């Protein structure tokens, strides 16, 4: 799936501006739907019910990326993003947006509205680029398993991985799995492990249930664990693909307002060490014994870390653990479905 064209996004933004957020569910927005699937929601397996929420989240991110000032303020009024303006008719929203620039509504309609739509469309395309939606030329055309010397790259959505014993996910220090409809690895694993009926009804949210059980058993409900803590849960439905354990590494520390996360290299290194220690302890419990581990690029998603920086710190920690001879026989994988991150991994290990 490739990002939509700029002019297609502008056309959809005009439609959304006229109809308003309260009519988002019944407004055809094909270009914004594609961009939302690339930047907000994972493309496969997400209910149509989440489409309006994904498009609104995309719009809010794009407007926030305009950098503040009159442009951001007028864009927020134009689309009803200011609290209390969501259900305002387009004329009222336009009047308030025009007042930001101190111009007439007619002047604003003819000039500023076009500028706002153009700038939001550009911001959406930048979000698509940051999400890895633009595929580097040297990557495989589709999901692939790519041998890279000391590691194997699983370039695919996590729910497509087969035959890997342990998949590692990054979590926040409250060990709360990401909301099931989000785009993160944590959310993808939560969806993939969940047991559902044939009609798609959720009957067992395996990851969320087992993490909550662990927190209660260790006296931590509502409290953070130490950064670098690693907790195991069962694979749920992923067990049918050969996955036997999911390890949840608490490496993300929420900011005070809960909108961002911070990652430290110390927590990442501690988590890598705890992954290996936990795997060594659990290894003999399985027949045949656990052998393979798939790691993500910690913090390279919502954490905002540059993927090359994340990989550098991650692999340094892995090599430190592999200095222990007992751990050299692990079959190591790196997992991502982001073309941007996959390109970084291939270049790091000398791929073409």
Question: Average pLDDT over the chain, rounded to whole?
Answer: 88
* 192 or 129, greater pLDDT: 192
Give residue 333's pLDDT: 96
In degrees rounded to 5, what are phi and psi of residue 253? -105, 115
* Count of beta carbons in the 10 Å neighbourhood of residue 57: 17
Tens-digit pLDDT profile for residues 163-196: 999 999 999 999 988 888 777 889 889 999 999 8
Average pLDDT of span 302-314: 84
C-alpha–C-alpha distance, residues 49 and 60, integer Å? 19
Bridge partners (DSSP) listed for residue 343:
none
Beta strands in the chain (DSSP E): 144-148, 151-155, 166-172, 195-196, 202-204, 230-233, 245-254, 261-262, 292-295, 331-336
The pLDDT value given to residue 349: 87
Confidence class for position 325, pLDDT limits 50, 70, 90: low
Q: Which pLDDT score is estimated for 135?
A: 58
pLDDT of residue 352: 46
Helices and strands (H and E) in the chain: how many? 12, 10
pTM: 0.64
Residue pLDDT, tens place only, 230-264: 999 999 999 999 999 999 999 998 876 666 788 88
Asked whether residue 268 carries a pLDDT value surpassing 90, the answer given is yes
Contact 228, 271 (CB under 8 A): yes
Of the candidate ranges 34-43, 117-126, 146-155, the one whose mean pLDDT is the lowest: 34-43
The whole-angstrom separation of Cα 35 and Cα 4 is 7
Quote the pLDDT of residue 132.
63
């Amino acid at each position: 799936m490739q990002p939509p064209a700029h002019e297609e996004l502008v056309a959809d933004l005009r439609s959304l501006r006229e109809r308003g957020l309260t009519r988002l569910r019944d407004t055809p927005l094909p270009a914004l739907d594609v961009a939302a699937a690339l930047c907000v929601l994972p493309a496969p397996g997400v209910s149509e019910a989440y489409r309006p929420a994904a498009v609104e989240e995309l719009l809010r991110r794009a407007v926030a990326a305009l950098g503040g000032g009159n442009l951001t303020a007028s864009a927020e009024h134009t689309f009803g993003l200011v609290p209390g303006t969501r259900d305002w008719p387009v004329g009222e929203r336009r009047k308030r947006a025009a007042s930001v620039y101190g111009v007439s509504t007619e002047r604003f309609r003819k000039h500023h509205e076009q500028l706002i739509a153009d700038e939001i469309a550009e911001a959406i395309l930048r979000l698509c680029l940051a999400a890895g939606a633009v595929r580097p030329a040297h990557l495989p055309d589709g999901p692939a398993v790519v041998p890279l010397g000391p590691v194997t790259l699983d370039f695919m959505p996590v729910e497509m991985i087969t035959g890997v014993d342990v998949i590692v996910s990054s979590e926040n220090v409250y060990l709360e799995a990401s909301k099931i409809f989000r785009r993160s690895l944590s959310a993808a694993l939560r969806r993939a492990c969940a047991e559902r009926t044939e009609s798609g009804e959720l009957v067992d949210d395996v990851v969320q249930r087992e993490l909550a059980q662990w927190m209660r058993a260790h006296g931590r409900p509502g409290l953070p664990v130490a950064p670098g803590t690693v907790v195991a849960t069962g694979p749920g439905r992923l067990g049918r693909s050969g996955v036997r354990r999911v390890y949840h590494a608490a490496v993300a520390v929420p900011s005070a307002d809960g909108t961002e996360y911070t990652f430290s290299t110390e927590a990442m290194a501690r988590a890598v060490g705890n992954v290996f220690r936990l795997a060594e302890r659990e290894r003999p419990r399985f027949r045949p014994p656990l052998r393979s581990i798939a790691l993500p690029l910690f913090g390279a998603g919502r954490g905002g870390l540059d993927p090359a920086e994340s990989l550098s710190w991650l692999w340094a920690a892995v090599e430190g653990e592999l200095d222990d001879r007992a751990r050299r026989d692990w079959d190591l994988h790196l997992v991502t479905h982001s073309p941007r991150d996959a390109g970084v991994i291939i270049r790091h290990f000398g791929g073409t």
